[in-house]
Structure 1
Amino acid sequence: MKRILLALSISAVLVGCKTSPTGRTQLALYSDGQMNTMGKQSFEQLKQQLPINNDQKVNRYIQCIADNVIAVLPDKYAQQQWEVVVFDEPSANAFALPGGKIGVHTGLLKVATNQHQVATVMGHEVGHVIAEHSNERASQNSAIQLGMQAADASLRSIQNEYQGAIMMALGVGTQYGVTLPFSRTHESEADEIGLELMSKAGFNPKESITLWQNMSAAGSGNTPEFLSTHPAPSTRIGDLRNQMPSVMKLHQAAASAGKKPGCKL
């Protein structure tokens, strides 16, 4: 059994390697169809669980921003039928799921005070989808489970009194040594992709810095970066500033091509 589990773990890693849009090697064990199905099912559940905002003005505003961002996505995603839903939720949040789903919480509009700042968040969330982060996380969890089972089988053969402590150490090591750093990597990667998307769509990328300053002022940056799945606001803002010269060229090219979003609330 131990050998079978180890073989499955190794095979999963070898077969499921892909490259993210930023050139990072990633594990992706699930097909696009599987991920799209999971995304659609999850979105339907959320629509049943969360209150939906029906204010036409708010929905037109969010849809306008989404349409501009979707228009500049790679063909694989731009040609999808996207569903955008505004949820009456106080948290400053938004999300995108495989299968062409975008959700925006009304609480975001208290922090993201203009179309450019909302586009920053939306581009970031769609960036997660483009980079297949959901697939990577699901694949990583599957590989971890196989690895943990293999380790557990090996430890059972030792039958020593420290087995429980070793397994607990493996769990902590897996969480803080693999899962959290990858999540921070995902967030930074989505920032990079999202900034490019919003710039190509004609939104002002400089507003991304203002957004994260607003987020920090609103209290979203209280968790220490070392144990956080998100980069600290100061780190995030620094990374955005480093990327600004290149994305401003994209923004200027978009403006020259007539891409000047006029989404108003």
Structure 2
Amino acid sequence: MRHCSKLLLSSIIASSVFLLSGCSSSPTGRQQVLLFSEQDMSQLGAQSFEQLKQQEKISTDTKKQRYVQCVTDAITAKVGPQPGFDKWEVVVFESKQINAFALPGGKIGVYTGLLNVATNQDQLATVIGHEIGHVLAQHSNERLSRSQLANAGLQISSIALGGQQYGDAAMAGLGLGVQYGILMPYGRAQESESDIIGLKLMAEAGFDPYQSVELWKNMAKASNGQQPPELLSTHPSHDTRIDDLKEGITELPAYDPSKPNCDALRS
């Protein structure tokens, strides 16, 4: 019994040290547990993105690609160098999905269905800034870490991120379902945090932050009283989101209206 007590105490101490070593703060100061390195997460994101590009239909519309690239470049220019990857990559996927995503490693995907709802460059910048916010705040790392702590105890060191055994957990951590291309919502705190980060990024890049409110109004209309679009399939509700964005806008410095004319590339 005494031996078992010692083992239990040792396990508790080891677990506490392990968890403390993974504690971190998000860009907004929210406490997180991050168990994986940014290099590992970037590698996982890059591998998953390559698989997505093989399974999803990539748009051949060069105007749409240039348009989305223009908005993305304006925002990422304000982000600066990131650990774990050298540059951001954006791909437009041909799909009716009203959605977009960003993976660790700087991989961004935008579905053409979103461009029918985000009616101008400022509204598109709202979405792209939000998705980049997920990467900057390491939300995939946070979700994957929580998943592994809940489902696999503390045997994190033995997990190969790309391994067969933990493939589903890794995909869930990236916001992808078992079938690639099916995006799973983040939690309420993560979504709200990305809204605030994205709002700041788009304003710094010269886009009109007030258009973020119009974007979410469009998203609400797109639901047509039925199943909401993918980007509305998580908390907070669109009403709460709009109210939070309005409040966030009041805390922003005056935005620089000398934004790039990406809309000209769309026509």
Q: Quick check: TM above 0.5?
A: yes
Paired residues of 1:6 and 1:147 also in contact (CA < 8 A): no
| Whole-Å separation in 2 of the counterparts to 1:38 and 1:181 | 19
Paired residues of 1:12 and 1:143 also in contact (CA < 8 A): no
User: Does the alignment pair 1:89 with 2:117?
Assistant: no
Deviation at 1:14, TM superposition (A): 1.4
Deviation at 1:19, TM superposition (A): 0.5
- For residues 159-191 of structure 1, give each alpha carbon's deviation from its aligned partner in whole angstroms, at most 9, with x where no partner exists: xxxxxxxxxxxxxxxxxxxxx997110000000
1:261 aligned partner = 260
1:155 aligned partner = none
Secondary structure of 2:187's counterpart equals helix
1:124 aligned partner = 130
Q: Which has the larger radius of gyration?
A: 1
Aligned-residue CA RMSD (Å):
2.8
Secondary structure of 1:104's counterpart equals strand
User: Does the alignment pair 1:64 with 2:63?
Assistant: no
| Whole-Å separation in 2 of the counterparts to 1:17 and 1:189 | 18
User: Does the alignment pair 1:15 with 2:14?
Assistant: no
2:44 aligned partner = 38
- For residues 70-92 of structure 1, give each alpha carbon's deviation from its aligned partner in whole angstroms, at most 9, with x where no partner exists: 10014327x83111100001111
| Whole-Å separation in 1 of the counterparts to 2:138 and 2:224 | 25
Equivalent position amino acid for 2:261 in 1: G
Aligned length: 226
- The 5 Å alignment of 1:89-238 reads 89-147=95-153, 183-219=187-223, 229-238=234-243
| Whole-Å separation in 1 of the counterparts to 2:18 and 2:224 | 36
Paired residues of 2:148 and 2:154 also in contact (CA < 8 A): no
Paired residues of 1:6 and 1:146 also in contact (CA < 8 A): no
| Whole-Å separation in 1 of the counterparts to 2:225 and 2:219 | 7
- For residues 92-140 of structure 1, give each alpha carbon's deviation from its aligned partner in whole angstroms, at most 9, with x where no partner exists: 1001111111100000011100000000000000000000001100111
Q: Runs of 5+ in structure 2 lacking a partner?
A: 156-183
| Whole-Å separation in 1 of the counterparts to 2:224 and 2:55 | 24
Paired residues of 2:23 and 2:34 also in contact (CA < 8 A): yes
Change (3 A) 1:260 1:76: same
| Whole-Å separation in 2 of the counterparts to 1:14 and 1:220 | 46
Which stretch shows the higher mean deviation, 199-208 or 229-238? 229-238
Change (3 A) 1:137 1:49: same
Deviation at 1:246, TM superposition (A): 2.2
2:33 aligned partner = 27
Change (3 A) 1:53 1:126: same
Q: Runs of 5+ in structure 1 lacking a partner?
A: 150-179
| Whole-Å separation in 2 of the counterparts to 1:220 and 1:126 | 28
| Whole-Å separation in 1 of the counterparts to 2:185 and 2:63 | 39
Instruction: Specify which structure has the higher proportion of helix.
Output: 1
Change (3 A) 1:229 1:9: farther
Deviation at 1:9, TM superposition (A): 4.4
